[in-house]
């Protein structure tokens, strides 16, 4: 019997199989079962054999991957300058061959080395803000992204690409949309968020096309209008390759946990599509209103806290009282249907509903309703319950924003001492007030 190789070693093995002897090259992972040899193959898949079926093992190197300190890359200074702002996420991750887990650890230079075609599109400057999974990102990190974008524009970049984990990519894109365009202005260049659903060292990765398309849009996209395009997302348009969707950052949402076309626009349309072919990259026409002026971005107050609850059979008044008593600045409840909450008790057998209505009436902080249905408007005029909610002070009527855009809008408005009457307004493409179908 051969000896089990060390985890992380690159090996060549010969093993028995029902179809005859086979040969594999790969990196040793922790065994999938006791006394099993498991390899990560070059195509991204794993293969396992009982060690007693392995005929021979030849070590051919250590851990795979791009060197952590690649040589300085020569660039074409005549190309438009684009800054890649690196926050982490799957697009900036690879397999840890000692554990088999996907971890965030790519450096900006590694990202360039892994997709050298980028250097034919733009003159790249890489900035590292962190190596974070997106679920760890907080408002303080939005402010760091805002500063990094403004610094990039001030240094001559025509656009920025923010590499970001996909789970909250749309939240950060919405936040930066309000920061740069919520006040009626626009950023000095294009802001593009991109990520990937599959890590960069998997055969099925979407990272390469997403990153190429994002850099292309940052370098060559149309001038920013500030109406939905202050910050955009660029991700796969379908499950296949070849087309990436440019979506308004203030109106897009991750709608699937694993699909490559997970990002879909809520209550609106894509801005454009980018086609990737052997002849290069191109985008579909875009019609825009370009009347806004450029201005300095606004910021988010990290001290502001917003409590979020879901309307349904387990929404109780004590949650609202707790938010009021714990220093929260506002409450957002994801309402059912047109934005309804469980606040009526017609049969007299649901005292919880009476308590919830009382808690809303007594709330010292704003209570806002978001759309649990995702698509469609919050319309509190259709049913008597909705009108009752307005009478007791519930805000949100008329909003067609995604829940995430509403969340960042409330945070932005409170951060900048704005009255929440702005929730009924369309500041930068987040609220299509005419939508009623």
User: Which residues are catalytic, by number?
Assistant: 90, 166-167, 254
298 with 411: CB under 8 angstroms?
Answer: no
Distance (Å, whole) CA 153 – CA 122:
15
Our CA dihedral for 52, 53, 55, 61, rounded to 10 degrees, sits at -90
Nearest to 202, CA basis, from 258, 253, 247: 258
Residue 78 phi, psi (nearest 5)? -80, -15
Residue 397 phi, psi (nearest 5)? -55, 135
Nearest to 365, CA basis, from 408, 394, 345, 336: 394
Distance (Å, whole) CA 41 – CA 46:
6
C-alpha distance from residue 429 to each of 59, 396, 401, 404 (Å): 57, 16, 9, 14
Q: Return the SS3 of 333.
A: strand
């Amino acid at each position: 019997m051969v000896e089990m190789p060390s985890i992380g070693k690159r090996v060549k093995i010969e093993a028995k199989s029902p179809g005859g002897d086979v040969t594999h090259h790969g990196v040793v992972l922790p065994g999938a079962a006791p006394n099993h040899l498991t390899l990560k193959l070059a195509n991204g898949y794993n293969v396992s054999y009982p060690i007693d079926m392995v005929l021979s093992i030849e070590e051919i190197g250590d851990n795979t991957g791009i060197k952590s300190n690649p040589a300085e890359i020569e660039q074409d200074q005549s190309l438009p300058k684009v800054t890649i702002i690196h926050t982490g996420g799957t697009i900036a991750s690879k397999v840890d061959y000692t554990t088999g887990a996907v971890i965030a650890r790519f450096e900006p230079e590694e990202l360039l080395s892994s997709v050298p075609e980028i250097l034919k599109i733009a003159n790249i400057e890489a900035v590292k803000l962190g190596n974070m999974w997106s679920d760890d990102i907080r408002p303080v990190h939005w402010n760091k992204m805002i500063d990094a974008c403004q610094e990039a524009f001030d240094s001559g970049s025509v656009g920025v690409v923010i590499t970001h984990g996909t789970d909250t990519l749309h939240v950060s894109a919405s936040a930066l949309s309000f920061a740069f365009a919520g006040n009626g202005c626009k950023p000095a260049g294009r802001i593009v968020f991109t990520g990937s659903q599959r890590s960069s060292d998997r055969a099925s990765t979407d990272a390469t096309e997403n990153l190429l398309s994002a850099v292309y849009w940052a370098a060559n996209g149309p001038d920013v209008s500030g109406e939905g395009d202050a910050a955009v997302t660029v991700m796969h348009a379908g499950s296949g390759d070849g087309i990436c969707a440019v979506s308004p950052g203030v109106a897009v949402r991750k709608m699937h946990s694993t699909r490559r076309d997970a990002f879909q626009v809520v209550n609106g349309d894509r801005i454009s599509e980018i086609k990737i072919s052997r002849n290069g990259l191109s985008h579909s026409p875009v019609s825009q209103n370009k009347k806004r002026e450029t201005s300095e971005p606004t910021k988010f107050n990290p001290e502001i806290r917003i409590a979020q609850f879901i309307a349904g059979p387990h929404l109780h008044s004590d949650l609202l009282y707790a938010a009021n008593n714990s220093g929260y600045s506002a409450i957002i409840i994801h309402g059912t249907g047109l934005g309804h909450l469980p606040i009526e008790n017609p049969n007299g057998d649901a005292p919880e509903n009476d308590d919830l209505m009382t808690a809303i009436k007594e709330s010292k902080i704003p209570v806002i309703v978001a759309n649990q249905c995702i698509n469609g408007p919050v319309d509190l005029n259709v049913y008597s319950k909705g009108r009752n909610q307005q009478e007791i002070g519930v805000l949100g009527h008329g909003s067609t924003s995604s829940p995430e855009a509403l969340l960042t809008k409330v945070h932005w408005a409170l951060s900048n001492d704005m009255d929440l009457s702005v929730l009924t307004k369309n500041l930068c493409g987040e609220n299509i007030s005419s939508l009623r179908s």
